[in-house]
Amino acid sequence: MEEQNLTSRQLQAAATKNKIYQASIELMEKEGYDNIKIEDICKKAEVSIGSFYNYFKSKNDILVEIFKRADDYFKNEVLHNLKCDNSINEIIMFFVYYAKYDEYVGVDTMKQLYGPNNKMFITKGRYMQEVLKNIILKGQEKGQISTDMTADEINNYLFVAARGIAYDWCIHDGTYDLKKFMEKYLERLVPIFKP
């Protein structure tokens, strides 16, 4: 649904949900996920606890919302900016944007996502994954990327590496530039998929 087609009530609801989300992210970065309560989020967002539960079933749903917003980020911002001279460079740029989003979310919040119970990373069919898969498929069609592995296999291989880099950044408490590290790492890794 496009923004201009939304009623004032729907716009207000979206604004309230975003206010709760932003307050949650700020508190997670400052206090850590385990140290905040729904009451803290509501106080910061200046909403009632009932309002929180209108938009999120639990505090964990804030983490799920991060993934939804990541997919929106790839749909609305990244996809249109991934115009490179070849598919190899496009893949590298894709993961620089991936790192940029992780930095935007923040290291303390990202640490909460890297638990063994979080299956959102491996949920199939997410928009972000489809963007990368399409880059790989186009590269295979153009002869820029090997067909020794399927696009899905390459996609998975690259995401495992990128998540590993993001995890390393988290365990180092965000002490290095994730975008630069991701770019250098992928510049070395991605060429293994050249034909």
Dihedral-angle region of residue 124 (phi above 0 means left; psi in -120 to 50 means alpha; beta otherwise): beta
23 vs 18: CA distance, rounded Å: 8
- Average pLDDT (157-180) is 96
Q: Contact 87/136 with Cβ under 8 angstroms? A: yes
Neighbours of 48 (CB within 10 A): 10
What angle (nearest 5°) sits at the alpha carbon of residue 51, between those of residues 47 and 53? Answer: 130
pTM of the model: 0.81
What is the pLDDT averaged over residues 82-105?
A: 91
pLDDT band at residue 103 using 50, 70 and 90 as cut-offs: very high
Which tokens hold the place of 130? Answer: 């489809």
Give the per-residue pLDDT at 53: 93
Q: For residues 76 and 95, state if they share a domain.
A: yes
Same domain, 184 and 149: yes
Tell me: pLDDT of 2 over 60. Answer: no
Summarize the confidence of residues 142-151 as an average pLDDT: 96
For residues 128-133, give the mean pLDDT.
92
Within this chain, do residues 48 and 33 fall inside the same structural domain, yes or no?
A: yes
- Per-residue pLDDT, 4: 56
Torsion of CA 163, 165, 171, 173, to 10 degrees: -110
- Let me know whether 39 and 76 are in one domain: no
Give the pLDDT band (50/70/90) at residue 147: very high
Structural domains of the chain, count = 2
Domain that holds residue 49: 1-56
